[in-house]
Copies of this chain bind each other. A is one copy, B any other.
């Protein structure tokens, strides 16, 4: 079954707010095995909304419409849908009572225009709104099911989760299961080349690739009559991806981030980590700290932006700074070792480089970054040549530093 989404609101067309409802509903539909073909945003304008509705009801099995159910004159979604579907609007006594209850106890009287929200289409199913006054509606027509939802996310999300999702689940026969394979240290183009043959011949399951900053995520999705059969189809494909990407895969858990994978590894081996950052200025530390419960493994970190701080705090030798400069594999290695000792941590990841746009030398142009990891007495240092603006280079460097830490921990402690 195919789904089309329509979001109604001039505030979206003016860029006042981000359309987070689109993402939420799309993710929900994907997990239900429903194919979303189009999302359209249109303003509070009857003519344009009508034109979109007429096109959409011809090409989709399910229409999900968000917004424009409010009490003001601008809000015209329900009226326009009723017109297009040729349905009358009638007062719903239940919705009217709900509005009365909602305003009860408030000092202000019920604004006259709020009663408009209790009008519903003849023959529809009413969706209760626990967090506002506008009810949602489901209207079933011969070719298309039309579902109207209020725009505010704190009303739309619970209404969808509690009432619309079970309704949609009842419509599908097949089960859809997917697994996310998260890869680090390989670019999107390169990753796709490595599995081109799998993608070219895919049918069920399918493999979809998503480029993230410094990462590539591969979603393997299967359809089957039941969950066990779907998982049976996914298994061999995931195994093949593991053969091809090896330890570039950091997790098979959709919800696990790279920093969570690192924190989880550290916790498993009973280790602590620290960070010694120059050009990333604390970004790596902040990502580790973003993991709830990071305090078990991360106790402190160092931002050593100038040379003197690298020398004084991390004990990078003055000779190293003089001979090789602070942007060198030698300095990165000493930062990692010094950071670990200074913090009394088992592992230390260090980052130094030229984030640009200025700086850099002939040998080390802007975008040159050294990431180094100290673990169990050994130091591993990678030289990276990154491109993009200052922020992108710093984010990429942070991802590569976290990934290096992950690999070093696995290498040094993985077999113990």
Could you tell me which A residues sit within 8 Å of B by CB distance? 10-20, 22-30, 36-43, 45, 48, 52, 55, 70-73, 102, 105-106, 108, 111-114, 130-132, 152, 154, 158, 187-190, 192-193, 199, 208-211, 217, 219, 275, 277, 279-290, 292-295, 298-306, 308-309, 313, 343, 355, 357-358, 365, 385, 387-392, 394
Contact = CB atoms under 8 A, between A and B. Distances in A.
* 8 closest cross-chain pairs (CB), A and B: A282-B282, A281-B289, A15-B27, A15-B26, A282-B285, A301-B303, A300-B309, A39-B41
Contacts of A14: 26-27, 30, 36, 208, 219
A364 to B, nearest CB: 10
A210 B15 contact: yes
B30 A37 contact: no
B292 A281 contact: no
Nearest to A383: B107
Contacts of A385: 105-106
B281 A277 contact: no
A86 to B, nearest CB: 24
Nearest to A186: B108
Nearest to A300: B309
A343 B209 CA distance: 45
A52 B41 CA distance: 13
19 contacts: A12-B23, A12-B39, A14-B26, A14-B30, A16-B219, A18-B19, A38-B42, A39-B40, A40-B40, A55-B55, A72-B189, A72-B192, A106-B385, A131-B389, A154-B391, A281-B289, A293-B358, A298-B305, A300-B302
Contact of A30 (B15, B105, B309): B15
Contacts of A108: 187, 190
Contacts of A11: 208, 210
Contacts of A308: 299
B289 A286 contact: no
A342 B39 CA distance: 54
Residue among A22, A28, A152, A365 with max Cβ neighbours from chain B (10 Å):
A22
A193 B111 contact: yes
A295 B305 contact: yes
B38 A12 contact: no
A365 B105 CA distance: 10
B154 A392 contact: yes
A400 B302 CA distance: 22
A3 to B, nearest CB: 9
A36 B158 CA distance: 30
B391 A290 contact: yes
A388 B13 CA distance: 26
Contacts of A300: 302-306, 309, 313
B37 A43 contact: yes
Given A12-B39, A293-B358, A305 B301 contact: yes
